[in-house]
Amino acid sequence: MIAILRLGHRVGRDDRISTHCGLVSRALGASSIIYSGDRDDKMVTGINSVSERWGGKFEVGYNANWKKVLMDFKRRKYTIVHLTAYGMPLQEKITAIRKNKNVLVVVGSEKVPGEIYQLADYNISVTSQPHSEIAALALFLYSYNDKALEQKFTKSKIKIIPQEKGKKVEEG
Amino acid sequence: MIAILRLGHRVGRDDRISTHCGLVSRALGASSIIYSGDRDDKMVTGINSVSERWGGKFEVGYNANWKKVLMDFKRRKYTIVHLTAYGMPLQEKITAIRKNKNVLVVVGSEKVPGEIYQLADYNISVTSQPHSEIAALALFLYSYNDKALEQKFTKSKIKIIPQEKGKKVEEG
């Protein structure tokens, strides 16, 4: 199982970035995302409504206490992977990380509590350049799971049928 | 060479998403990004200042006329890859796309002109689920280029030295 913990969400400023983190997690096979930082029911509702239309079983939660969440996952023997530009290169560590069946991926925002670097089993960088937590998360999920792009979403109300040109959507 | 064309940028609403597209393009080895939609000099300046500090040769431009940009790249024999949830799965097409040395990746926003589906050589989906143009772009660049995560950035003023725990930065 893959779970995501998104730290330090800020209502307003981070709405779209945090929403993208949630949708990417769902699309690439994570089973849940937990947000910390500001409580943002509207954003959670938005992601849940995507899941309801597009299918699958993806859980979205909120917890003000990120440390409690992290320690709970540790207790459940999840491997904690913290994505940070300061960490060790993904390509050097991914083989070791893949040996773990249950992973909690921690995705920071502007400021991350220093403690996390110690609590994480792996601090992992997806390049050591400034770019995007959304991209880092996507590339981690894709590297961790060969089938990340081929998820099945049960009970969908809407479905895209891939086309060379144009759009085809099945509804109902 | 890999160039990116980001369509339909909206000042305010898209600032961070479009900035992330630019930074991801730079970090994963594209040589340039051209924005269309609203002119946004502040965003362009922000990305340029990242390049100046973190090194490398990444060009950022703006052109109100996306179609002219696209046709110019076509004339220069670039393969046009349009990223869209409606397109054919990345994993089915990437081997064919990789045979082309020069690629223009077109990244849409909320509304994309229907014409683009016809003008593109490939309409490519990174899953057929709703998620993030930033994630789609990152996964495309990573799939297109094995060395995407190992770019060198010359003349940098700042550099991260990867660490197992904590942060190490070299400046100057």
B56-66 residue pLDDT tens: 999 999 999 99
In this predicted structure, the answer to whether residue B110 has a pLDDT above a threshold of 80 is: no
Q: What whole-number percentage of chain B has pLDDT above 70?
A: 100
Measured distance CA(A18)–CA(B132) in Å, rounded: 11
Mean pLDDT of A87-108: 98
Which of B54, B86, B91 has the CB atom closest to A167's CB atom?
A: B86
Q: Pick from B54, B24, B44, B42: which is nearest to B135 by CA?
A: B24
Measured distance CA(A108)–CA(A136) in Å, rounded: 11
Q: Average pLDDT over chain A, rounded to whole?
A: 97
Q: What is the pLDDT at residue B107?
A: 97
Model confidence, pTM: 0.98
**Residue B54 to residue A132, Cβ atoms within 8 A:** no
pLDDT band at A172 (very low <50, low <70, confident <90, very high): confident
Q: What is the pLDDT at residue B14?
A: 93
- Contact list in A for residue B129 (CB cut-off 8 A) is 23, 26-27, 54, 151, 153, 160
Q: What is the pLDDT at residue B111?
A: 84
**Residue B151 to residue A129, Cβ atoms within 8 A:** yes
Q: Pick from A91, A92, A123, A126: which is nearest to A106 by CA?
A: A123
Q: What is the pLDDT at residue A109?
A: 82
* B37 burial level (CB within 10 Å; 0-12, 13-18, 19+): middle
Measured distance CA(A129)–CA(B103) in Å, rounded: 23
DSSP3 helix / strand / coil % (chain B, rounded to 5): 40, 25, 35
Beta strands at B79-89 and B59-62: parallel, antiparallel or unpaired: unpaired
Q: To the nearest whole angstrom, how far is the Cα of A149 from the nearest Cα of chain B?
A: 5
Q: Pick from B86, B128, B78: which is nearest to B104 by CA?
A: B78
Q: Pick from A75, A63, A165: which is nearest to B86 by CA?
A: A165
Helix (H) or strand (E) holding B160: strand B158-160
Rg of chain A in Å (alpha carbons): 16
**Residue B88 to residue A50, Cβ atoms within 8 A:** no
B147 to chain A: closest CA residue:
A91
Provide the domain limits for residue B154: 2-171
Q: What is the pLDDT at residue A111?
A: 84
In this predicted structure, the answer to whether residue A22 has a pLDDT above a threshold of 80 is: yes
Residues with Cβ within 8 Å of residue A164, at least 6 apart in sequence = B87, B88, B123
Q: Cα dihedral sign for A74, A25, A140, A100?
A: positive
Helix (H) or strand (E) holding A68: helix A66-75
Q: What is the pLDDT at residue A164?
A: 98
Which of B20, B27, B160 has the CB atom closest to A134's CB atom?
A: B20
DSSP secondary structure, A74-141, as one string: HHTTPEEEEEEEEEEEHHHHHHHHTT-S-EEEEE--SS--THHHHH-SEEEESSSS---HHHHHHHHH
Amino acid at B34: I
Lowest mean pLDDT among B13-17, B78-82, B98-102: B13-17
In this predicted structure, the answer to whether residue B144 has a pLDDT above a threshold of 90 is: yes
- Contact list in B for residue A134 (CB cut-off 8 A) is 20, 132, 134-135, 138
Total number of domains in chain B: 1
- Contact list in A for residue B123 (CB cut-off 8 A) is 163-165
Which of A91, A117, A149 has the CB atom closest to B91's CB atom?
A: A149
**Residue A131 to residue B20, Cβ atoms within 8 A:** yes
Rg of chain B in Å (alpha carbons): 16
Q: What is the pLDDT at residue B35?
A: 97
Q: To the nearest whole angstrom, how far is the Cα of A107 from the nearest Cα of chain B?
A: 14
Measured distance CA(B143)–CA(B90) in Å, rounded: 8
B148 to chain A: closest CA residue:
A127
Mean pLDDT of B70-85: 98
B161 to chain A: closest CA residue:
A86
Q: To the nearest whole angstrom, how far is the Cα of B100 from the nearest Cα of chain A?
A: 18
pLDDT band at B103 (very low <50, low <70, confident <90, very high): very high
A127 to chain B: closest CA residue:
B149
Q: To the nearest whole angstrom, how far is the Cα of A134 from the nearest Cα of chain B?
A: 6
Which of A89, A150, A164 has the CB atom closest to B149's CB atom?
A: A89
Dihedrals phi, psi of A56, to nearest 5 degrees: 85, 180
Which of A123, A134, A150 has the CB atom closest to B134's CB atom?
A: A134
B124 to chain A: closest CA residue:
A164
DSSP secondary structure, B1-65, as one string: -EEEEEEEE-TTTTHHHHHHHHHHHHHTT-SEEEEEES--HHHHHHHHHHHHHH-S--EEEE-S-
Measured distance CA(B40)–CA(B51) in Å, rounded: 17
- Contact list in B for residue A130 (CB cut-off 8 A) is 23, 27, 50, 54
CATH, residue A131: 3.40.1280.10
